[in-house]
Every structure is written in structure tokens, then in C-alpha cells.
Amino acid sequence: MNLVIQILAVIGLLISIEAWRLSNKKGKVWCEIGKKFACGNVIRGKYAHLFGMRTVVFGPPFYILIIALAGVNALPLTLFFLFVALIVSAHLAYIQIKKIKQHCLLCWGIYVINVALIIITYLDAFVVLIP
């Protein structure tokens, strides 16, 4: 299952790199679909910061860390970092839904990847699927 974890983390890495790239672009971005799905407003807006840094800078190093941890089979540590990412993802999703009232398709893709990663890592670490 470590390979599945690594593949999902690579997908998360690619999505987060694209979000970072678009956050540096001026004007409309390709993933904007009307007023409700306005990636540019979400990833460049006032809520797009965490600990004084833009949220997009955390994604690439995070997914590289997950790839490396899964590579050495450090599942409990991987699960810890994924749990932290799940809390951050839930917080950012809440901001999109309740405060901004606009959505970023790339961000939601990252949230889905994070949920899938934590489920698969949990199953791999604590549930024996194949003896």
C-alpha cells in the first residue's frame, strides 16, 4: 500500500504545485468557472495565509515529506502529518464555504487527496488487509 500512498502524494504534489503557480499569476486563471468557482480569488485572497505565509507554499514540501515517509514505511509518523493536514484542510474548506463563499477546484482536489491518504494510511498501518 505504500506505493498507493506515494502515488496519491505525487498527485497531491502536482496539484499543489499548480495551485502555487496560479497563486503567482495575475488575472483570471484556468480553473475559474463563474463566480462560485473562483480559484484565483481563493488562493490569492486574504484567507490564503497560515502562520503568516501563503498556504500554497506548504503543499509541495508536505507531499514530498509524505512520499519520503511512505518510502521508508514510517506509517505512524505519516499518519500524524496526514492528521494535521486533515485539520488544516477542514479549516480551509470551512473558510471557502462559510466566509469566502467561493471555491477553488484545485484546493478541493487537495482536500480529497488528503482524505484518501489518511484513510489508506490508517488501513495500512492498523488494519491487516492481506496477511
10-57 pLDDT, tens digit per residue, is 999 999 999 999 888 777 777 778 778 887 778 888 888 888 888 889
| Span 47-99, pLDDT tens digits | 888 888 888 899 999 999 999 999 998 988 999 999 999 999 999 999 989 99
Q: Does pTM top 0.95 for this prediction?
A: no
Which residues lie closer than 8 Å to 81 by C-beta, 6 or more apart? 62, 65, 66, 69
Strands 53-54 and 49-50: antiparallel
- Dmax over Cα atoms in the chain, in whole Å? 53
Amino acid, res. 114: N
107 class by beta-carbon count within 10 Å (0-12 exposed, 13-18 middle, 19+ buried): buried
Place of cell 505519516: 78
How open is the CA angle 110-118-6, to the nearest 5 degrees? 70
Q: How far apart are CA 110 and CA 86, in angstroms?
A: 10
How open is the CA angle 72-76-82, to the nearest 5 degrees? 95
| Span 92-111, pLDDT tens digits | 999 989 998 888 889 999 99
2-126 CATH: 1.20.1440.130
